[in-house]
Chain A
Amino acid sequence: MEIKITDNSLRLFLETPVSPEELAQKISLCGPTFDKIDKIDNDYVYDIEIITNRIDTASAQGIARDSAAILNQMGIKSTFKNDPYGEKVENYSNLPKSFSFEFCQDNLSSRFVAVSLENVNIKDSPEETKQLLSLCGLRPINNAVDITNELTILYGMPSHIFDLDKLASQKLTVRESKKGESITTLDNKKNLLQGGDIVIEDGAGRIVDLCGVMGGITAEVDKYTKNILLVVPVYNPNKIRKTSICLQNRSLAAQIYEKQPDLELCLPVLTKAIKLFSERSKARVSSSIFDYYPNPQINKEIILNLDWVNSEIGVEIPNQEVISILESLGFLIKKQGKNEIICTVPSWRYFDINIKEDLIEEIARVYGYFKLPAKLPCVNLLPEQKNILFKTESKIKNYLFNQGFNEVYNSSLISENLITKTELHPAEHLKLENALSKDLEYLRLSLVPSLLQNIKNNQGKSDEPFSLFELSNIYQPTKEKLPLEISNSVFVSTIDYPHLKGTLEALLLHLNIKPFVFQPASNPPTYYQQGYTAEIISDNKVQGFIGQIKPTILHKIGITSNPTVVELNNVILIDSILENFIYQPISEYPEVIEQLTISSNLPLGKIIEKIQSTSKIINKISYTNSYNGNHSFKITFSSPIKNLTQLEVNEIKNRILTLFN
């Protein structure tokens, strides 16, 4: 969270010679980060990023304590002063007013202190207070409300005031809201509650406070107010967070409460408030102090071995320095033996410091991270086996990129609309429970729909042909808890089928895959058009598909060209890759090349397969062209052991021709 405090308010608690700029720079290295300083009038405003677990620093007092420790360690003599925990709490008794709070559940508040005040004179706050609030981004309202806001800035503990005379009875109830209840808050907004929010009911069924977030308008303190009920509570952080997020009301109080401020700070702040009310509005305490504190904190102690501290941080820090750093942060230290200390955690760090590693952080940051050297660790590792999937993915990417294909990264989340357009079934996909939008709702089962969308999106913007590819996981639901995440490659192009198929074949050769064939696909994925799609078979497994997309799908997406799409399952593919090269001896005898025309209705793949099967000395079959069912090939014959005679070649040619009679 971000807070704003002023330099003047910080120096109420900190005696130091450093300038605001220097202070900001130095503290940022070892404590909370000062994002910005603005000089305004005769003061400076700091924007400070509070680290999530350091809610104790979300105030002038908290920043001052950390700063004093840090600056002293840097050799700049500084003092933390006006410690609120040193404040004497008065005991008020025999006073006329009495009120009570009933807590319906014990998980609503861990401490709740309250007092009533009479004879309140509502007017404007002193100029100084108004300026402090304005500089910190809060609007001055009146002397009473401003006191609670000022105390939040100074001590990091929110408080709230009710006009006591506007409450129906003095018996108040702190309870969870029921779904459908509502409250109009001080910002004049009507909030419909979802149930489970902490609220205060005033005895007449009216909700008077949306606890920890914002007060209700019913018991608002206004210029006629004479009697005030002042409360300084600490609420259940999770409930406050839920309410604040659901109602989108991120008040400063809510941001503090959701990180659980110090329970021991309630009384000191109440005492400060009473003092200010008396000074600024002549108010008097009219009740004894109500203090609900069902489980008072007990001391938390952590034993720390000082040798271990040095080995964890990696440098030698003298024992005395370690102790003085911890003491300056409020830890009580007792020595135990030569190298051990017992550290008692201060109340304001009660929820944040739990284990000895937490103390390492405190020691190291105040000592100065910037003083630690950079060292590369020497780790004795065994050599790692090659990861063939990563290697193959990288080869595919580099090959396609070198062939003029452009890589695209699409979101793994797609819309129901795109799924149905490609005739896939939304029900077979994994669906988000809490999607952000309809466009990003389902996890992809195939990369193809996204790439078809990519083609459509580029139409009219760039010159065709488009050649695109993507490598990514698809997410296949299983009976287990987790889906299968399968690495896929898809490449699409608006160049013609033979060219794309050629690229695919060359890619497979480049990957050194076992021998492969293409067969008309009997059951291709839904978006492929049957009869225009082949399966790629190698190692007796379907490695993927190449084919054209159903015209109805092209039409639905709005694609005007006729792209060819290759889809490969990389996980199956890597199982069929030959990891090592195998040397084939080069024949010393010349090749014989012959033209051959075959008349057949078989697919070319089958014809070539049949030609190949006739003889071992057929070295290469190149397809030339086809005309009216006549297919021309150039066939290369060669033998590794002898010169071929024309007679031998003719004999094989005749055998081939008889195959197709």
Chain B
Amino acid sequence: MAINYKETIREVKKSLSRDLSKVKTADDLEQINIKYLGRQGEVNLLFKTLPIKDDSNIGKAINELKDYCKQEITSRLNILLEIKSDPIFDVTVPGIQPPKGSLHLITHAINEIESIFSQLGFVRRRYPEVETDWYYAEGLNIPKGHPARDDQETFYLSKEIVLTAHTSNGQLREMEKVKNPPIKMVNIGKTYRRQADTSHSAMFHQFEGLLIDKNINITHLIGVMDYFAKAYFGNDREIRLRPHHFQFTEPSFEIDISCGLCHGKGIIEKLPCKFCKSGWLELGGSGMVHPNVLKNGGIDPKIFSGFAFGWGVERVLMMKSGLNLPDLRLLYTDDLRFLKQF
């Protein structure tokens, strides 16, 4: 029996719109897609019934039906996609965080110090924290009986072995390692001092810079100190040198940095600045390497000169504005409520 294609097409269309009206989800729609447009779907079945001798009009009509179905299903899909299933989705729901880890403030500071000096070509080193008398004192031009060798202020393991109170032993160690200048290093390590109060911890950290080459003079020391101060504390800060004394440098300097709070004026709103001494803060010591120290490191002071500095990591860290740690010893607490803040 010949099929009434016109009628059938009308039926399919009706059935489709009935089905579509019941659709609630994209899955439902997919079922409808298969029912009408699938391999065994209604449209394909109609194609299969086409007589061999095709009536081109019928073929065309079925093609139109196919397009119609596609269009209807797509427009229905578009409507469906626009409706979100959860109308009360709360974008402010608290996120589920992984546990909060932290790096220690001293690690943060050491990373920063290392990277600033690395920009200037200083190589990071690590030299002994437990050291012989020679590298720690004698070789650094600190004679026996000098207060720096007092057992009041330095921890001793035996008569000849100390826990370093400064990182300057790295100077001689580096000279011996490199042998022929140029030398450009920064030695970062643990140091120990036999005292403990609000501004001292028995253990602390220092970074020791050393630069030795031909024709190195005081202006180069100022250049490097100034670069570090600006990179670490900010471009608006200035440094100044004041006379000082260390056994292993000559001349020796105390380096000050302008106060970040009063900007070097020493006065805030007509009152003396509480953070600094008349506009300046002490950063640390430095100086031109003493010729005896160069000799002791196997370097000829007639050919080479250099400068060195040894500063406290905790000190520069505490001086960084905004941190507001009341007590240096807080850095050595193990309280997670403190540690997790950084």
Contacts and interface: CB of A to CB of B under 8 A. Distances in A.
A432 B305 contact: no
By size class, the interface of chain A is 35 or more
A610 to B, nearest CB: 35
A52 B285 CA distance: 14
B220 A377 contact: yes
A295 interface: no
Contacts of B95: none
Contacts of A360: 250-251, 288
B213 interface: yes
A250 interface: no
A461 B335 contact: yes
A372 interface: yes
A434 B155 contact: yes
Contacts of A376: 120, 220, 223-224, 227
Contacts of A238: 145
Given A314-B220, A401-B101, A409 B250 contact: no
Contacts of B156: 432-434
Interface string A151-195: 000000000000000000000000000000000000000000000
A171 B221 CA distance: 57
Given A360-B250, A409-B106, A411-B203, A402 B123 contact: no
Contact of B334 (A315, A401, A408, A467): A408
A615 interface: no
Nearest to A483: B130
A436 B104 contact: no
A241 B147 contact: yes
**Interface SS majority for chain B:** mixed
Nearest to A432: B155
A440 B305 CA distance: 40
A461 to B, nearest CB: 6
Interface residues of B, number: 81
Interface string A373-402: 111110111001001011000100110111
A31 B240 contact: no
A32 B243 CA distance: 7
A52 B224 CA distance: 26
Given A238-B145, A381-B182, A431-B157, A365 B250 contact: no
A405 B231 CA distance: 29
A628 interface: no
A361 interface: yes
Interface string A226-264: 000000000000100100010000000000000000000
26 contacts: A245-B152, A311-B217, A312-B305, A313-B219, A369-B218, A376-B220, A376-B223, A377-B223, A379-B184, A381-B184, A390-B124, A401-B102, A406-B336, A409-B106, A410-B332, A430-B130, A432-B163, A433-B157, A461-B336, A461-B337, A462-B336, A466-B336, A468-B334, A475-B129, A482-B128, A485-B130
9 smallest beta-carbon distances between A and B, as pairs: A404-B99, A361-B251, A314-B219, A314-B217, A369-B241, A454-B334, A357-B250, A377-B220, A401-B101
Interface of A: 25, 28-33, 35, 51-54, 238, 241, 245, 311-315, 355, 357-358, 360-361, 364-365, 369-370, 372-377, 379-381, 384, 387, 389-390, 394, 397-398, 400-413, 430-436, 440, 443, 453-454, 457-458, 461-462, 465-468, 472-473, 475, 481-483, 485
Interface of B: 98-104, 106-107, 111, 120-121, 123-124, 126, 128-132, 145, 147, 150-152, 155-158, 160-161, 163, 182, 184, 190, 192, 194-196, 201-203, 211, 213, 215-220, 222-227, 240-245, 250-254, 277-278, 288, 290-291, 305, 331-332, 334-337, 339-340
